[in-house]
Structure 1
Amino acid sequence: MGIRSWLRQSMVLLAGCCAVWSGAGAQTLSMGVSDGPVSLPIYVAQANGYFEREGLNLSIHSCSSGRDCYKKMADGTVQIATAAELIATLNSFNRQDLAFIATISASSSQIKIVARRSAGIATASQVAGKRVGTVQGSSAAYFLTRWLSSNNPNARDSRLVPLEPGNVVAALQRGDIDAAAIWEPVASHAFAALGSNGLLLENPALYTQQFGLIVSRALIKAQEADLLKLLRGLLQAERFIAEQPEKAEQVLMARLGGTRAQAAAQMREHAYRLGLDVSLAETMDGQARWAIQEVQVQPKPDTLLHVIEPALLRKVAPEAVQLRY
């Protein structure tokens, strides 16, 4: 599958309907939470009762990815999606009512390239022409295109294989794909499953994924007070992770499994801080240009500034907002 056609299919998958949550007067917020170390602040806040302490009744729905969380939000299953900024960027071409209200974690190395030695891969340049699996329309797919281009001009000729996160490990084990671009903890599971046949390829800091909260502007209008409670609970979780990392590791292990060493390594790869800053705006602007060129979406006259919404975070942690507007 050619990379342009593959990326265009990704946009089709991401195009959500403009469904608006109908329970404006509801006492409960519902949130899709992506499985992974990116969501640790939410796990900690839930485990320690921070949301309840703030008077928030939060219903959590597990998702296999940020893309999956966004789909649940788009179809009205949940009100809030946890996802990388790329999901907000791509869907801003289809919807004008999205708001990215806070980043909760950031990482330059949580997305990894896992390869099979038996596929004749020992270096990054040898991925050229190989079958590479990843999740369409995800931050892993965005990272993969940049990684391929940076390692070998011919690497973009690699055959891209669309997979769901839950199928990546088995696809590598069976030999259906030669390598995969995937996030944690799936990357660690895949590497472990391959044993001596597995290889983690060099992962330069080509892209810092900023993972956060996506909502509709209708929800902000209807339940602003509840969203502020959510952010205050996450701020408490941020402090807990910084001050008691060993206990936070235990929370991560309880949610994702794995060893203490794996949990510690995954936490070291992430910065757990609520914020909205210039780097987020710059990343999303670059992603928009990439989408116009690679996915061939139609550019809009306005900018992505309407997607990043700092008003709520400014009310609970004004110092966490470092934007130029």
Structure 2
Amino acid sequence: MTTLSRFALPAKLLAAGLLLAGLGAATASAADREIRIGYQKSGALILLKGKGALEERLKPLGVSVKWAEFQFGPPMLEALNAGAIDFATTGESPPVFAQVASPNFAYVANDPPSSKSEALLVPGKSEIKSIAELKGKTVAVAKGSNTHYFLVKALEKGGLSLADVKLAYLAPADARAAFQNGSVDAWAIWDPHYAAAEAAGARTLTDGDGIVQNYQFFLSDRRYVEKNSDIIRATLEELKKIDDWVIAEPKAAAEELSPIVGIPAPLLEKAIARQGFGVKPVTPEVAAQQQKIADTFLELKLLPKPITVSDAIVQVTQ
């Protein structure tokens, strides 16, 4: 069993995805083309879904669009590797585990770094004032998420390692409940959950600035990309338009996103300001940063075998 396979994917979603994918096939037939997109309640994809622009773009090509929501990255990429979805977006750590699980896993693009959009938090009234004071304390983090790697590096900044703290592997909703009721002493989390926790009185020990890059990646299956490069290219182009709009009008983007995710617009505007936007091809420099993450998790024995990140990069051609 690989590291990634330990993340539970809801049985109904997996069964439905496998059925849609033809019991694991990665692509639909030419007569029934579609793109099934996994998204979270943050970033450009959810705004693209809300606007319906991708459906309009792909309709002349006879391509349908289906959407599936996930709470965080690892279960989304398990669904991608299982053939339940065709396109996904996550932070920098989940792809490392996903590549171990599938030789067809593919990076197709990324947004710029968002180092300030994740943080290590403590309750506002906590006596903990520094990272070093977390020794022996319980820290909540989503296993395999972007904040898992951030937590490793943040603890290093404070002279600690993962072995020096008690880890509570919790999905964001469960982690927030544990954080609020005092079951955990600290929480490594990303926006917009980070912004919401701040507004509720949480205090930041450190964000990712100067610690991690925190790229946001757009991901697919190599076989799907090879057979549907026009669909992937169109999707990335529509995402670029959304990114450009968010950069130009962050307040409007926050107001549009607010009713979708149930977070007040001012908090979302703060989260948007900390996030990098602007879809780009994955460069060798970005791949090298990902390789550092893979090597770190391998050293920690959280990754079962070494990988070469550059092997999973697919350029979307005309």
Alignment-derived partner of residue 199 in structure 1: 203
Matches within 5 A, 1:157-306: 157-193=164-200, 195=201, 198-203=202-207, 204-275=209-280, 276-295=282-301, 297-299=304-306, 303-306=308-311
Runs (4+) of structure 1 moved beyond 6 Å? 15-18
Residue 100 of structure 1 deviates from its aligned partner by 0.5
Matches within 5 A, 1:70-109: 70-104=77-111, 106-109=113-116
Matches of 1:263 and 1:105 in 2, distance apart?
18
Matches of 1:142 and 1:85 in 2, distance apart?
8
The alignment status of 1:29 with 2:29, answered yes or no, reads no
Matches of 2:269 and 2:199 in 1, distance apart?
17
Matches of 1:286 and 1:167 in 2, distance apart?
29
Residue 11 of structure 1 deviates from its aligned partner by 4.5
Residue 105 of structure 1 deviates from its aligned partner by 5.2
Contact 1:128 1:152 in 2 (8 A): no
1:13 aligned partner, one-letter code: R
Given candidates 51, 58, 80, the residue that maps to 2:65 is 58
Residue 162 of structure 1 deviates from its aligned partner by 0.9
Matches of 1:120 and 1:82 in 2, distance apart?
36
Tell me how many residue pairs correspond in the alignment.
298
Residue 163 of structure 1 deviates from its aligned partner by 0.7
- Helix, strand or coil: the match of 1:261? helix
**Which runs of 5 or more structure 2 residues have no equivalent in the other structure?**
10-17
**Which runs of 5 or more structure 1 residues have no equivalent in the other structure?**
1-7, 316-325
The alignment status of 1:130 with 2:151, answered yes or no, reads no
- Helix, strand or coil: the match of 1:235? helix
Matches of 2:68 and 2:4 in 1, distance apart?
24
**Alpha-carbon distance change, 116 to 236 in structure 1, aligned in 2, over 3 angstroms:** closer
- Helix, strand or coil: the match of 1:61? strand
**Alpha-carbon distance change, 189 to 240 in structure 1, aligned in 2, over 3 angstroms:** closer
**Alpha-carbon distance change, 102 to 226 in structure 1, aligned in 2, over 3 angstroms:** same
- Aligned CA RMSD, in angstroms, stands at 2.6
So what's the TM-score if we normalise by structure 2? 0.84
**Alpha-carbon distance change, 190 to 60 in structure 1, aligned in 2, over 3 angstroms:** same
Over the matched positions of the two proteins, sequence identity in percent amounts to 18
- Helix, strand or coil: the match of 1:188? helix
